[in-house]
Structure 1
Amino acid sequence: MSDTSILVLVGSLRAGSTNRQLAEAAVGVAPEGVDITIFEGLGDLPFYNEDIDVEGSVPAAATKFREAVAAADAVLVATPEHNGTIPAVLKNAIDWASRPFGASPISGKPVSVIGSAYGQFGGVWAQDEARKSFGIAGASVLEEIKLSIPGSVVRFAELHPKDDAEVAAQLADVVRDVAAAVSAEVAA
């Protein structure tokens, strides 16, 4: 497999977030030839506003974000669930990535959504909403590549996801499958 770059977007700004830890664990399980980068800076994006999304005056944080999305072969999203849906920071990132209309960096980009949450379903509502939003934004959503980890607060209270053999194996499968989807898309 040739080198594949995957950009990870973490839907939580909290430093100790289990979804950030999942992203870190994904970096650690990436096979040779797959480069995973966690995007730092979603919290720096201003709320999307078409009045400030004007050529020549796009905020620097938005330009940096769009360039990172454009440079990646695929996007992996690790999101918690906030009040039954996606966090505002993630929805805002989707809005920035979806523009400019017709030439956005997310258009046609393979996207997979994973995550953990405190509840018994592992944040599946948020993950479904993220897939829906990315699809409407024009991404090529990898519907079958998913991972939901319930009970995150308890499960990862004293254990980083990278040290949980089951989670590490599941993440390795997700990363491998996303890279394979990129390779299949390139070959098509």
Structure 2
Amino acid sequence: LSGNISPASQTSDPITTAVRETIIQPQKDNLIEQILKDLAALTDRDLAEQKRKEIEEEKDKTFSTFFGNPANREFIDKALENPELKQKLESIEIAGYKNVHNTFSAASGYPGGFKPVQWENQVSASDLRATVVKNDAGDELCTLNETTVKTKPFTLAKQDGTQVQISSYREIDFPIKLDKADGSMHL
């Protein structure tokens, strides 16, 4: 996979390109669409028009200036609170990764593509950890239980062409629902 990356020309490998095109860009487009809807309902018309122009100026770009501006955080957060948008973003992500994994799988004939990894569970008490996750107000949202699983060593090629030997991985028990579903934890 790393053989397809050319740092001099700033081109990405086909998998990164597919993730950008099938997941990231459609999610950005839907987020911007929701922000524009929210701006249309804003009572401060001058501010709404200013933000609309900022978005319009970046229309054919990555929106990195708009998304990177801390002053726009409130508009982004408000849009992300919309349940319909949340569902759209999740659907795009699920379908996009399914497509990427199917397209670039070893089973589909893609050289060096995705393939199942056979793990062997050998857990000891010293490999268990718990992390309490709190929101900005300090309220406990959940406890993430993490297990380090040791496996037979195998070699993995990284994007830069180097290889690394893997002898363990982590399993994290993420909650399905949060009692205090507020804050910046995205599930």
Please give the TM-score of this superposition, normalised by the length of structure 1. 0.25
Give the alignment's TM-score, normalised by structure 2: 0.25
Structure showing greater Rg: 2
